[in-house]
Structure 1
Amino acid sequence: MNVFKFGGASVKNADGVKNLLHVLTETGPNKKLVVISAMGKTTNALETVIASYFDEKTALSQSIETVKSFHEEIINKLFSEKTDTIFRKINRFFEELESFLNRNKSPNYDYVYDQVICYGELISTTIISEYLNQHHIKNTWIDARTLIKTDNTYRDAKVNWEQTQTNIAANVQKDELTITQGFISSDSNNFTTTLGREGSDYTAGIFAYCLHAKNVTIWKDVEGVLNADPREFKETTLLQEISYQEAIELAFYGASVIHPKTLQPLQKKEIPLFVKSFYNPTEKGTSVGNANKITPYIPCFIVKKDLVLLSLSALDFSFFVEENISEIFALFHKYQIKVDLIQNSAISFSVCVDNKFNNIDKLINHLQAKFKVSFNKNVSLYTIRHFTQEAINQLEKGKDVLLKQQTRETVQLVTKD
């Protein structure tokens, strides 16, 4: 069985959905499980719904209507026969969404986030499943939340592999075409959880592992894995082959093409991963497997923006020892702060962190009770894997470098935006 994953950019409009049909026709629809993200910027639009719910109730109805209108426009372009079936199914999702928002009593933002954000994937997969049926591509639509079980860490849930394996083995027919959602899952009480932003790749890895898949293909709007993000760097090169280890390193440092958690289950069973062009399905793209690092062997550039650089030192200028660091990392865990870079000296400790849960101010207030704290918000972290001096010089040019760290294979620079 093959596992395909289509991201939001691949199904951002009616033409994208038609192209998905083309890809399945070209590759053959049978013996496939297809993981699909929310369409286009739907996740962002649903985040606006959540923000309205908490902060601006008067804008809530309009923010929901915006999401609804976007999908209705796509439906009108896809379905020549305006049957009531697809509209009835989509309207039911919006009724569920509004019902949840009306009856919810929980003030927990992360819990509410997961209960709302899942509708992007549920709606996109329903539209696509119905569209494939209209074009005589028989498929089975499955709610991923009934299969992938997790703990209740909302927005960054941990998979219960044993229960998930059992569910997938019992409910997915390997000889057929199955359509399901990326990113979403559920806890033991059947409340929706999510696997982290951009977690649809991880979903594909979970299904591939549990189904002993032949391979996984991630379909993108680029030709494969490039040595740099073309939106950030002018000249890029296609990487033809990448080892599992190297792909994990690139994902860890923030390469956006592959989700960091995706590769671990694939490596365990040596399931090959392909990253291919949605627009050119017959091209080879990039393969990830038991390769030798990367081919071609060239510097790879990664950038993560909107981070925070924290620098800490003891109030009495004493040495910064393991006990201090252990205490700080306990606070990072408490406030859900992801650390991207660490550098320490005898009396100071610096970290570049991701504030995706918006808890940085709470953390800083907590730290200031015991440490001298300085910080820079909205910094960028640049990483070069397999660097050359020329690559470093090129990256540093014109930038205000706040911190620099170099190891055998990697250089990292924190710069002020």
Structure 2
Amino acid sequence: MAAPQRFASLRQPWQSRHALLAIPVVLILVITVVDIRSPPDVHLGPALVIAPAITASFAGPRLTGFIGVLALAAQAIIGVFHGGLTTTNHIVQLITLAVLSVLVVFFSAVRERRSRQLAQVRSVAEAAQHVLLWPLPDRIGPLQVASLYLAAEDEAQIGGDLYAATRTEHGTRVMIGDVRGKGLPAIGEAALLLGAFREAAHQHTTLPKLAAGLEQSVARYMADFEPEDEAGERFATALLLEIPDEDPITRLTSCGHPPPLLLRPGEAVTVLVHPAPPLGVGRTGPEDYTLDEFSFEPGDTLLLYTDGVIEARDPAGGFYPFTERTAQWTDASPETLLHHIRRDLLAHAGGHLDDDAALIAIRRTTAPHPSRRHGGSSMAADSAPTPQQANK
């Protein structure tokens, strides 16, 4: 961010607070003038306590204390014009106003302290969430990529949904998944699955073997940390993809996850998959997972999503018509596509989702993009087995 922009961002809150400060100041002046010009039996001075009370709603303890002092000065001026400061009535009013102003300043200080603590907690939480769910780059090899996450939990950026991508020697591997539940427990399980994928994606030559490796990681976690009263109820769906750089195809293994949409000009088609059970349901080997393969030509877009998208309901209870709505934007870039979906989805759901939702849009470009080779890659796309060989 440039220096003028940073300065402008700092000035804006300062200017808004000082603009609002005119409200209690004007209120003090009006009450003072009206009280002085009113008959002796009319006392508007006690209403001055409204000024510091209003100030505390938008300013800190210092400005609130300043307004409290102004209110006390105004009360003293009123007393001078109505019988003098030594009268019992004015002394009681001054003491009462002073006590109430001190209390307002005290509560303003407590609120400001808690606000700072909350801001620190949010900052740490956001940093932890960004470390857990790394943002996907705009381009991975010959692929244009965009991602979107909508968390159901208030003040959260992520929940139980997850996605990750990693470069291999001849292509890209992508995972999108959904851990049962939401909130902190789901985030912990999502972290486990993301860490396991980032490591295992470079150790297994086929997606069925990768799925089996992830199942073993989840099973070990469940055995060690799953509460007894939730035995058998914790699991995660996952969709594993392998996109070679040179071949216009995509290989896919589904672990109970919704199938992706394949977008081509004017149409959105659901990819046919043969799903296996979700991860964590039972110990399985590579032979229990199917490797599906389909055409993924330059210009095509793959749209991966979690069930929080297709299960979003409108106020009348109707599900979001995901495929029909998405077919309107098949020519859009990945980033623009997700922008349209986000706006349309939230409008359908009334501005708030009941479940976490994640989406990834992947478009193969018309020409291969020079990719950066990462050391430690173990997958060779040109030697990957056919679906029939993978299930033998």
TM-score norm. by structure 2 comes to: 0.25
Which protein shows a greater Rg? 2
Higher RCO (CA < 8 A, seq sep 6+) = 2
TM-score norm. by structure 1 comes to: 0.24
The structure carrying a bigger strand percent of its residues is: 1
The structure carrying a bigger helix percent of its residues is: 2
